[in-house]
Structure 1
Amino acid sequence: MIVALEELIAEKEVEEDDVALLFVVEEEIGGPGMQFANEHLGVDSWKAVIFGEPTEMKLGVGHKGIIIFRYVVEGKAAHSGYPELGINANEILVKALARLVGTKLPDSHLLGESTINIGELAGGVAVNVIPENASAFIAIRVAENTEEIVRIINEIADSTPHLSVKELHSVDPQLLDYKVEGFENIVLKYATDVPYLKKKSGDQFKRFLYGSGSIHVAHSDHEFVPIKELYDSVDGYKRLVTYSLKN
């Protein structure tokens, strides 16, 4: 992005007030950087924003939303030889998770199925102790109808004694601008901090999602971006900037 802007300036394709760069932190954990920028940027004049993400050099048509939450069980400890004296938090949690995984969630013709990832599990202190506490940290990639999925999450908790929902955070699926000549398109199953950048005026603006690399190797021990794509993406960013300024 930086090299693209430097080249556009050198080529006199852009002027000082045409383009700005914004880099934010912690996109992976709820997007507080983008939310802070949205609140304190002090600028509300942009007409288009190009968000950098691994899109295989294609323009994103849209991406899934996300719901992140914890299921927390508060049981009662007891000797495992006398299970009737305790309340097994692990057992309650496992049954609740089975209900969630076994529930059909809303899907989308464009974005596909909503999917569940039980990312973290914790519970119990010893094999001979009825576990008093248990929790699961869960992410649902939302293809359609965030409100309905939140309802399902809460309904399971409401109908399960000793189970509650904590730290629930949700973002709706996003549809993006993608019709630019010379670019292929891609539908993406991940979430981004795109929805956190909004104009205080409420006006709409073009939102492009584009970048080098593939999400298929992200968060792995072999994550990489092809060097050729790093070079080629400079041209891609330049073309998106000039397209946006002309349109």
Structure 2
Amino acid sequence: MSNTVHAICKHRRVGRAVSKTVLLLMADFASDDGTGIWASKPNMAADLEISETAVRDAIRHLMAEGIISEVGQRKHQNGYTVEYRIDLARVSALPVTRENAPVLTPASPAPLRQTHPTPTPPAPQDLRETQVNHHRTIIEPPEGNTPAEQVTRKPPKRASALPENWVPSDRNLADARSRNFTDEEIHEQAAAFRDHHLARGTTFKDWDAGWRMWLGNARRFARPAAARNARARSAHDVMLAGFQSAALRDRS
């Protein structure tokens, strides 16, 4: 989070409440120059507790006003996420929200609070550097962990929504075929899987695992349904045979 970008956006009039809310959330992700903003629209909608449609409308409004712009795409295992940039010069030119609002510009950022008041920085081997959304933060390691252990430790994987254009990967197809699904069944299950999770706004840390769980449930729930259909057909056949036997007796 950039305190400077957030302060500039906070005290400017955007014209719409939802657009202002989305802009402040983007400022939380931004670097000090307004770049490095990448978060999926479903995740922004979930964080702000509004609909994804409202997020999309707000982004279109901000782009039309020249406040934000698309600068590229970031690929990940489930597709890609659009990367945005806040135009700090454009935001700074907007009217302030109140007369006594502090005036901040990118050239004169707000002073940051010192996290380490001592003038001499600690030795590099006693610190661990982590990077989240392009912001570098120095964190003192807990006792008992060596620097080597901290360097190799991977950050936790974040849950994400299923991309709207999701299709089964080669690995997904192999998982389905290993469970004896035909190509026609795979096509049907993939469409149902995509429609179900997009409608519910589901988030998973591992969508490959979610697909395997879906396949297992499809097989598990299909067996009782097949058994019920077989019983229904059997009862229908018995009833039809009775009617036919009675009709033959009546003719004789």
TM over 0.5: no
In terms of fraction of residues, the more helix-rich structure is 2
- Higher relative contact order by CA 8 Å / sep ≥ 6: 1 or 2? 1
The structure whose Rg is larger is 2
In terms of fraction of residues, the more strand-rich structure is 1
TM-score by length of 2: 0.24
